[in-house]
Amino acid sequence: MSLHPEATSTNELAALDPVADSLVVADHQTAGRGRLDRTWETPPGTALTFSAVVDPGLADHDWPLLPLAVALAVADGLRTAAGVSVAVKWPNDLLIEGAKVAGILLERVQADRPLAIIGIGINVGLDVEDLPVPTATSLRIAGADVDRTAVFAAVVPALGAILTALRSEPSAVLERYRSECDTIGREVEVHLPDGELLVGTASGIDRHGRLVVGESTIGAGDVVHVRPA
Ligand code: BT5
């Protein structure tokens, strides 16, 4: 494990020399990254920001399940460490009462074999005035008085466990995701990468981890939960 008092982005650092089974942790990120070139911002000392580099040992067709599985693991870790009720929004946002407490950025890099860089950002000790966006929350705001080390100590083994499960029985992990994903059954707005907006009821998750909305299956997009269907 490498621990950095300050880093641009742990995903970026990990990608410079990706080593399987390593962890890159930053006490603070100065250029934290979200998906699609967005930013992930957290004030110093308040958040857990790290990346795990793993060889998931998956067939190519099961790689799309990885981001979903990681969301289940982070949810498990948060429940264990903080006793909070966490919901998973497709594909891998972790919500408490509809607000985002953690985000995941998964990247595939080619080393001697394909490796996954699993970036995880968890809002731990932020107060309301620290929130980077109004749609965010933190464990502290949710009433959990827990430190970053305890959250890390719960999330890392949960991640190991889900990766083992995914390797041995991907369909069982997908089934668990389907039963836990809070998006299913809701009316959603999906902002697609090409700028298009799709509105409908999310009816399920297909074999490849894509969200099914009406006649469409969506591999990538930003979902807004409108209301329960
Ligand atoms: C994500 O992107 O949710 C992935 C975030 C991954 C962050 C981790 S930290 C460790 C590792 N190293 C990195 O550089 N990144 C990973 P996305 O779904 O695109 O969400 C980004 C959007 O969430 C932003 O555009 C903001 O609207 C919002 N946002 C930014 N910071 C936030 C925060 N701390 N909490 C909640 N929402 C935030």
Are residues 210 and 218 in contact, defined by beta-carbon separation less than 8 angstroms?
A: yes
Our answer on whether the CB atom of 49 is closer than 6 Å to any ligand 1 atom is yes
| Nearest protein CA to atom 36 of ligand 1, as residue | 136
- CATH code, domain carrying 95: 3.30.930.10
Do residues 157 and 191 both lie within one domain? Answer: no
Name the domain count of the chain.
Answer: 2
Substitution site in 2, 27, 33, 40 for ligand 1 pocket (most atoms within 8 Å of beta carbon): 40
Cβ-defined contacts of 24-30 (< 8 Å, 24+): 24/50, 24/51, 24/53, 25/1, 25/49, 25/50, 25/152, 26/50, 27/3, 29/121, 30/6
User: Containing domain of residue 193, as a range?
Assistant: 187-225
- The residues near 42 (Cβ < 8 Å, ≥ 6 apart) are 28, 29, 32, 49, 121, 123, 126, 130, 132
Our answer on whether the CB atom of 34 is closer than 6 Å to any ligand 1 atom is yes
Do residues 83 and 193 both lie within one domain? Answer: no
Do residues 157 and 196 both lie within one domain? Answer: no
The whole-angstrom separation of Cα 21 and Cα 52 is 7
50 CA closest ligand 1 atom index: 10
Q: How far is the CA of 50 from the centre of ligand 1 (A)?
A: 12
Our answer on whether the CB atom of 91 is closer than 6 Å to any ligand 1 atom is no
- Regions of the chain where pLDDT drops below 70: 228-229
Cβ-defined contacts of 215-222 (< 8 Å, 24+): 218/190, 218/192, 219/64, 220/192, 220/193, 221/190, 221/191, 221/192, 221/193, 222/190, 222/191
Q: How far is the CA of 33 from the centre of ligand 1 (A)?
A: 6
Do residues 207 and 98 both lie within one domain? Answer: no
pTM of the model: 0.97
Do residues 14 and 109 both lie within one domain? Answer: yes
- pLDDT at residue 142, as a whole number: 98
Degrees, nearest 5: CA angle 193-159-210:
30
Do residues 210 and 194 both lie within one domain? Answer: yes
Are residues 50 and 27 in contact, defined by beta-carbon separation less than 8 angstroms?
A: no
Do residues 192 and 147 both lie within one domain? Answer: no
- pLDDT at residue 228, as a whole number: 65
Do residues 36 and 134 both lie within one domain? Answer: yes
The whole-angstrom separation of Cα 100 and Cα 88 is 10
- pLDDT at residue 227, as a whole number: 72
Do residues 208 and 150 both lie within one domain? Answer: no
Do residues 118 and 57 both lie within one domain? Answer: yes
Do residues 153 and 201 both lie within one domain? Answer: no
Q: How far is the CA of 131 from the centre of ligand 1 (A)?
A: 12
Our answer on whether the CB atom of 221 is closer than 6 Å to any ligand 1 atom is no
- pLDDT at residue 213, as a whole number: 97
Our answer on whether the CB atom of 86 is closer than 6 Å to any ligand 1 atom is no
Do residues 202 and 114 both lie within one domain? Answer: no
